[in-house]
Amino acid sequence: MFHSKITGVGHYVPEKIVTNKDLEKIMDTTDEWIQERTGIKERRFHPVEEGSTAKMAVKAANIAMERAGVKPEEIDAIVFATLSSDYYFPGSGVLAQAMLNMGTIPAIDIRAQCSGFIYALSVADQFIKSGMYKKILLMASETQSIALDLTTRGRGMGVLFGDGAGAVVLEAHNEEGKGILSTHLHSDGNFAEVLRIKSPGSGRATTFYPGIEENYEEIHPQMDGQLVFKNAVTRMPEVVIEALNHNNLTVADIDMLLPHQANYRISQMVQRLLKLPDEKIYNNIERFGNTTAATIPILMSELWEQGRIKEGQLFALTAFGSGFTWASALIRW
């Protein structure tokens, strides 16, 4: 049986930095409130006129392929994770495929919100393990800024999110105990209403008439922040322990934890519950906010650039988000 391993990682974030002070000018909020509750200092917003979720993903993908030493024509399939696709349909995967001139290879879109990257990694890993594909390009990209209400009414959500993209190349290999050791996916749709955007959605009269006042709650993200917080701090460590147990490993074996970046306080609690020292967790929420599916590959790409990913190290990834969905993966580099 084949195994899969990550051979290249890349990321792209828009140049436009939006600080908490910038948000103070357009809504009733303060830098102090945002930093204290979330750890966020600034985020990046992608100017609408400069493109799209797929365009950002392609920039990250080109870096990942270059670092992997893989040419676009060698890729067998695309897996694309996003909750902010360019169109209602088709998904951003095919748009990126066309931009990358990747012929007629399949492009699979994954909709698992903040858990999207780990879900995508799991899907790609299964294709490689089964022998169906040898080289897969995974992209995770989000343009959150266009859906946020950046007025006082939307401040509960508006200050949390940012735009960006990450990508990895996953390749088949046959070395035991290396690469993606396992992935663990969960969801509980009973919590679907707790964090969601309703429109555009099928069977809704409002689907094609966004923007009018009475549809406010339909077209803007809605969240019960405290319920999300409580579930995230339980599920994220729990699913890491599940992955460790599955591989007969312990927390002490982890060299680096990459938690989804929704809130610095969530990351701190996950770290505390797992009893991990500071040097074994990497956070970047202060610079990018929550970039949903793109978060984990951005974290990974930054560590790659800093030369902090060493052969033999064990990385644990964990995410929690809308759905609810949550997931983990263990990677031996």
Ligand X SMILES: CC(C)(COP(=O)(O)OP(=O)(O)OC[C@H]1O[C@@H](n2cnc3c(N)ncnc32)[C@H](O)[C@@H]1OP(=O)(O)O)[C@@H](O)C(=O)NCCC(=O)NCCS
In the complex, the smallest distance separating the C-beta of residue 184 from ligand X, rounded to whole angstroms, is 18
Binding mask 169-208 for ligand X (x = CB under 6 A): --------------------------x-------------
Strand 3-12: give its sheet, edge to edge.
3-12, 164-173, 135-142, 77-81, 107-110
Separation between Cα atoms, residue 149 and residue 222, nearest integer Å: 11
Q: Which is nearer to ligand X, 151 or 245 (CB)?
A: 151
In the complex, the smallest distance separating the C-beta of residue 288 from ligand X, rounded to whole angstroms, is 14
Separation between Cα atoms, residue 280 and residue 32, nearest integer Å: 27
In the complex, the smallest distance separating the C-beta of residue 192 from ligand X, rounded to whole angstroms, is 13
Q: In the numeric block, which tokens belong to residue 106?
A: 């399949």
**If we measure between CA atoms, which residue out of 324, 35, 14, 25 comes closest to residue 196?**
324
Stretch near ligand X under the rule CB under 6 A, chosen from 122-130, 152-160, 196-204, 211-219: 152-160
**If we measure between CA atoms, which residue out of 248, 198, 258 comes closest to residue 223?**
198
Of the residues 232, 256, 285, 331, which one makes contact with ligand X according to CB under 6 A: 232
Of the residues 4, 20, 29, 92, which one makes contact with ligand X according to CB under 6 A: 29
In the complex, the smallest distance separating the C-beta of residue 156 from ligand X, rounded to whole angstroms, is 4
- Using a 10 angstrom Cβ sphere, with 0-12 exposed, 13-18 middle and 19 or more buried, the burial of residue 36 is exposed
Residue 155 engages ligand X in binding (rule: CB under 6 A): yes
Separation between Cα atoms, residue 326 and residue 186, nearest integer Å: 5
DSSP reduced 3-state for 136: strand
Q: Phi and psi at residue 175, in whole multiples of 5°?
A: -90, 120
283 belongs to the catalytic site: no
Of the residues 228, 257, 274, 316, which one makes contact with ligand X according to CB under 6 A: 228
Of the residues 4, 7, 38, 318, which one makes contact with ligand X according to CB under 6 A: 38
The catalytic position among 11, 114, 231, 284 is 114
Residue 20 engages ligand X in binding (rule: CB under 6 A): no
Residue 37 engages ligand X in binding (rule: CB under 6 A): yes
Separation between Cα atoms, residue 143 and residue 254, nearest integer Å: 32
How many residues form the binding site for ligand X (CB under 6 A)? 21
Q: In the numeric block, which tokens belong to residue 16?
A: 């436009």
In the complex, the smallest distance separating the C-beta of residue 63 from ligand X, rounded to whole angstroms, is 25
Measure the N-to-C terminal CA separation of the chain; round to a whole number of Å: 19
Residue 226 engages ligand X in binding (rule: CB under 6 A): yes
In the complex, the smallest distance separating the C-beta of residue 216 from ligand X, rounded to whole angstroms, is 16
Q: In the numeric block, which tokens belong to residue 1?
A: 């049986």
186 belongs to the catalytic site: no
Residue 263 engages ligand X in binding (rule: CB under 6 A): yes
């270059």: which residue's tokens? 66
Q: Which is nearer to ligand X, 99 or 197 (CB)?
A: 197
Of the residues 54, 114, 167, 269, which one makes contact with ligand X according to CB under 6 A: 114
Separation between Cα atoms, residue 122 and residue 51, nearest integer Å: 28
CB 296 within 8 A of CB 168: no
SS (H, E, C) 119-140: HHHHHHHHHHHCCCCCEEEEEE
114 belongs to the catalytic site: yes
Q: Which residues are catalytic?
A: 114, 260, 290
Q: Which residues bind ligand X (CB under 6 A)?
A: 29, 33-34, 37-38, 114, 155-156, 159, 195, 223, 225-226, 228-229, 232, 262-263, 266, 290, 321
